[in-house]
Copies of this chain bind each other. A is one copy, B any other.
Amino acid sequence: MSLLIIGTVAFDEIETPFARTGKILGGAATYIGLAASRLIKDIKLVSVVGGDFPKKYIELFQKNNVDTSGLKIIGEGKTFFWSGRYHMDMNTRDTLVTDLNVLADFDPVLPEGYRNSRYVMLGNLTPSIQRKVIEQLEVRPKLICMDTMNFWMDTTWDDLLEVITMVDILAINDAEARQLSGEYSLVKAAEKIRKMGPKYLIVKKGEHGALLFYEDQVFFAPAMPLEEVFDPTGAGDTFAGGFMGYIAKKDDTSFETMKNALIYGSALASFTVEKFGTERLLEVSDKNIQDRLLDFVKLVSFNM
C-alpha cells in the first residue's frame, strides 16, 4: 500500500569523536523514505529543497521507489542544512548549525496522486505544516503516524496539540513524552497522551529500545546492543520508516502487526548507526536484514 511521507530533506554535516563528514544527504523524510523502501514500492515524498540539491540524490530517491513529484525544488533557494557534533557517549550531541533556508517558507502542496494515500508518516516538522498535509488528504488514511520534538512543545504548543488530535500514533522520545504529559512515569504519560488524541503512543528510548502503548497493553521492542555506534543520526527516522513501511506492506493495523513493525524498524535502525548518514541503510542486503531480525528474536526469547 502507499505511504505518504512528509519531512525534511537536508544536507547534514556530522562530527563524531572519531570522524567527520562533509555535506551529506540527510533529513527525516530521507531516512523514513529509504527505510520504508526496503519493504514497499509506493512511497510518496513531500518536502522542499533548494537549487543546490544534487540531481543524483533525486535519482537515488527514485531508484529506491520514492516518488519525488511532491519534492518542491526552489531554484534560487538553498537546501535545509544541519550540522551537529556527537559527544563521546555517542548519545548526546550539540547542534552546531541549523540553516532552515527553503524550509522557512515551506507550504506543502500535495500532488493529485498523493491525496488518497492509505498510510501517512508525518516526520518531525512545524506542526502547522504537518496539519496542512493532513487537510489536503481526500480520504482519511488507515493510519497516520506523527513524530515531533521538544522544540515544538516549547514554541508552538497549541498548534502541536491540534495536530496530535488528528493522528493515530504519536512517536516521540522518552523525554518528550514526559514533557508533553508532565508525568515522569511512561505508563502515566502514555495514558495522558492517548487522551489527547492518538490511540497509540510509541516512546523511543534510543539505545534502550522503544515502547508501544495501546489501550491497557504495552509492548517493548529492544534495541540491539552493538559493538560500535558509528553515527546515530537518522536512527529514529529509520525506525519510523521501517515501522510504517512494514504496516503499509502488510496493510494491517492490528496491534500484533505493529509489534512486528517495531522490531523491523529497530532492525533497520541498528544498521543506520553503523556508518555515516544513509550509507549503511542503502547497502544492506535483504539477507543482512533477515539475519538481524533473527538476532532480535534471540535477544528477547525465553521459554519459562
Q: Which residues on B sit within 8 Å (CB–CB) of A209?
A: 208-209, 222
Assess the A300–B220 pair: CB atoms within 8 A. Answer: yes
Task: Choose from B89, B185, B187, B220 the contact partner of A222 (Cβ within 8 Å).
Answer: B220
Instruction: Give the chain B neighbours of A227 by CB distance below 8 A.
Output: 185, 187-188
> Which residues in B have their C-beta under 8 angstroms from that of A298?
217, 219
User: Is the C-beta of A256 less than 8 angstroms from some C-beta in chain B?
Assistant: yes
Contact mask for chain A residues 264-304; partner B; CB cutoff 8 A; 1 contact, 0 none: 10000000000000000000000000000100011111111
A218 at interface (Cβ–Cβ under 8 A)?
A: yes
Chain B neighbourhood of A219, CB < 8 A: 298-300, 302
Interface SS, A side: mixed
In the bound complex, do residue B220 and residue A299 qualify as a contact, i.e. CB atoms below 8 Å apart? yes
Q: Is the CB of A293 within 8 A of B299?
A: no
B residues near A211, Cβ cutoff 8 Å: 225
Answer whether A256 and B303 are a contact pair too, CB < 8 Å, given A205-B208, A220-B222. yes
The answer, among B185, B222, B229, B299, for a CB contact under 8 Å with A229, is B185
Which of A's residues lie within 8 Å of B, judged by CB?
Answer: 88-90, 184-188, 205, 208-209, 211, 217-222, 225-229, 256, 259-260, 262-264, 293, 297-304
Q: Known pairs A205-B208, A219-B298. 4 more at Cβ < 8 A?
A: A220-B225, A220-B300, A259-B302, A260-B303
